[in-house]
Amino acid sequence: MSRHSHHEENHYTERSGWLRAAVLGANDGIISVTSLVVGMAASGATANTLLITCVAGVIAGAVSMAAGEYISVKSQQDIEDADLRMEAISLDLSPDLELLELTKIYIHRGLDHELAFQVAQQLTAHNALAAHARDEIGINEETAAQPLLAAVASAVSFILGGVFPLLAILLLPRHVLEYGIIIVGVLSLGLLGAVASYAGGSPIIRGVVRVMLWGVVAMLFTFWIGSLFNVSAVG
């Protein structure tokens, strides 16, 4: 048996569902919680207030992300299910037209008419609905919507992202918190960008810069807003 007998490739698109939700959750956890805490710190809030704000932001954000992600992906799943039901009805009512439709799809992909018809026949005989779902609608097992998985991945990753500003509050002295939290936030965003790019098979440097840039903008803006309410600085 040759070493190529069990050749198998693991494609990055198989990770697209949970990876998108995880990256979005972690990114939002870092940016939103860090920005919230930075704004409060710039307003002159005490360390205890910053800690409570951070914990509340992590909890609220995780629940919000999970609910939003579940509703969003569930809506996508409902659309996919509706398309599959519609296709199943069409297969029952007009199988010949559906076979012709599948044949045309394969012709457009480069097969000659005779071969395309043979392929369409064999796939229809094997599992007609699966063939139309994959080649006509674009639904397959690897990329199908998974609401619960997306919700869990989003919530857990948000919490992990929110851990970074939490640790900064617990470990850094109060007089450097404003800038220390920003630095920790930027570095954690860079780490997230690197991990996400590696997992998705994209250039790591580009991913790091992209994530860090938007994070810095958000943090500096909220820092500026918070500083406008710093009573002690005004006094």
pLDDT tier, 143 (very low <50, low <70, confident <90, very high otherwise): low
| Annotated domain spans of the chain | 15-93+149-234
DSSP for residue 95:
H
The backbone torsions φ and ψ at residue 146, rounded to the nearest 5 degrees and listed phi first, read: -130, 90
pTM above 0.75, yes or no: no
pLDDT at 15 over 60: no
Residue 209: per-residue pLDDT = 87
Res. 140: pLDDT tops 80: no
Q: Read off the pLDDT of each residue in 51-66 and give the average, rounded to a whole number.
A: 93
Question: For 137-154, what is the mean pLDDT?
Answer: 80
Question: Range with the lowest mean pLDDT among 58-62, 85-89, 134-138?
Answer: 134-138
| Residue 25: per-residue pLDDT | 83
Mean pLDDT of the chain: 84
Query: Using 50, 70 and 90 to split pLDDT, how confident is the model at 232?
Result: low
Mean pLDDT of 155-179: 89
Q: What is the pLDDT of residue 103?
A: 93
3-state secondary structure 15-82: HHHHHHHHHHHHHHHHHHHHHHHHHHHHCCCCHHHHHHHHHHHHHHHHHHHHHHHHHHHHHHHHHHHH
